Amino acid sequence: MAKMSESRIYRLRWWTLITIALSILVIVLDATVMNVALPTIQREMNATGSQLLWMVNAYMMVFGALMLTTGALGDRFGRAKILQIGVAIFGLASLGAYFSGTPTHLIIWRIFMGAGAAMILPVTLAIITNIFPKEERGKAIGVWAGLNSIGIALGPIIGGALVENFKWNSIFLINIPVAVVALILGWFLIPDSRDENPRKLDIPGNILALAGLSSLIYGLINGASRGWSSGQVLATLIGAVVLIGLFILWERKASNPLLELGFFKNARFSAGIGIIVILGLGLNGFQYVLTYYMQFVKSYTALGTGLRYLPLAVGLLIGAISSDSLVKRLGTRWVMAAGFIGTAAMLFLMSIFKVDSPFWQLALNLFFEALFLGFILAPVTNTIMGALPKAKVGIGSAMNTVFRMVAGAIGVAVLGALLNSIYSSNFNKAAAGIGLPQALLQKAADSVGAAIGIAGSGKIPGDMAATLAQTARHSFMDGWQIMAYISAGIFVVGTAMVLRFMPKRGEAVPEEDNN
């Protein structure tokens, strides 16, 4: 990293922010591109519903479990160094994912991509907190969140175009040039910073956390496909509870804990983390199935699906950038409460969508949902980061992100498993009289994608294929409706949490503790 004076760091702070946003762009691109490509991956790799969940959750699981360690590594060895290493690992793992030939191989490379992402995200917020004065920090985080929305818009469009015109695995190649540019610019524009009194690494804590989270998510994902009474599922869920309990006990006694439990004594930090958990639980699962709705229920192409994500990106950009000025006028509590109420309303409205609902309804819903989310994401991030002393912002940023990622992984696993269960149950009841051979009926009951694939394969008569497709779509929408109700309810709970626990204006920690 190039050495930079304090005056040069301050003068180039906004260029540094743009460079940091570019580093995060590889993560955002991957997430949105992956969602658009999942239906194609299912068709071409013959992946099961559980494997598709693992392609998403293996990444999120490792991302969340390793982030506390990588945040501590950034505080110890230098945040810019860890950022550069993370970008390099993410780029190389993307190359490995490109050459994957089976669902298992792709899941393995997604694990490595999660490890690279875990090195990128926590240190970026730590760097922003260090280079921007506190009076500009809210605006900087709002711009950071807004710039990331560009990836939300570009990812599905680029991914859709690649899936339609090339092989599905070309989606991973777009990460390579972005990573290379981020590495070059980061070398010259991102100043290195670290904690002058870093703690030792908590290896046992990280092993317990990774094992506990792996067991939890494995049990949740396989609960729908194997049955919740399955011995294997019950064993992994019980094992997860035991391992996570041991992790908490270890962290309470460890001299250099992986999880800084002392941060939770700060009411502002605790309130922010609670809200982050609500966001992950209520949003990620529903966002996961949105692509399936567009491609399998509405029959949009991959590129058409990508273009239809634009209202989401525009809404998030406007909401994130405008949130800082709203917070200054109205206060953190009321802006975030409005965001939760608005998001809950949008999710409730999505519950009334039908198979033949027009796109303009979805477009309006996505725009306003993202707008309201912008009122939450930037303020809660600023609230959490502003509650921490600067020397500890690396691990604090990691804790912020790890709770969001783990909650998101649980949300995807639980709501995704719930959708699969409702779909399979309703499909088996409705499809009993179609006359489909038992082997095909069992395969079609696995997911809406499998059913639509069978209907379009030409292996069954036309009338039977049309009936099969409609039955699958309606069964999917039955699960969609329940998911929307649950997600909306979670955001209602989030509203109550904001009004009860969030400080009105997110007062900063004492100056002597924050510098």
Q: Where are the domains positioned within the chain?
A: 6-201+256-427+474-513, 202-255
d(C-alpha 417, C-alpha 49), whole Å: 9
Output the DSSP codes for 273-289. HHHHHHHHHHHHHHHHH
What integer pLDDT is reported at residue 224 of this predicted model? Answer: 55
Question: 92 is written with which tokens?
Answer: 């190389």
Helix axes 359-386, 267-292, angle to 10 degrees: 160
CB atoms within 10 A of CB 515: 10
pLDDT tens-digit profile of 155-182? 777 777 888 888 888 888 888 888 888 8
Question: 248 is written with which tokens?
Answer: 């908490």
Please report which helix (H) or strand (E) contains residue 59, including its range.
helix 49-77
What integer pLDDT is reported at residue 507 of this predicted model? Answer: 47
What does pTM read for this prediction? 0.71
Would you give the distance in Å from CA 422 to the centre of its chain? 24
Query: 4-8, 237-241, 482-486, 489-493: lowest mean pLDDT where?
Result: 4-8
Rg (CA), the chain: 22
Q: In CATH terms, is domain 6-201+256-427+474-513 a member of 3.40.50.300?
A: no
pLDDT tens-digit profile of 78-102? 777 888 898 899 989 999 988 988 8
d(C-alpha 23, C-alpha 383), whole Å: 23
Please report which helix (H) or strand (E) contains residue 445, including its range.
none
Give me the half-sphere count of Cα atoms (radius 13 Å) on the Cβ side of residue 39: 29
Average pLDDT, rounded, for the chain: 79
**Residue showing tokens 């590495």:** 183
pLDDT tens-digit profile of 257-295? 777 777 777 778 888 888 888 888 887 777 778 878 888
Please compute the mean of the pLDDT values over residues 187-200 and round it to a whole number: 70
CB atoms within 10 A of CB 230: 14
CB atoms within 10 A of CB 265: 8
The answer to whether the beta carbons of residues 82 and 73 sit under 8 Å apart is: yes
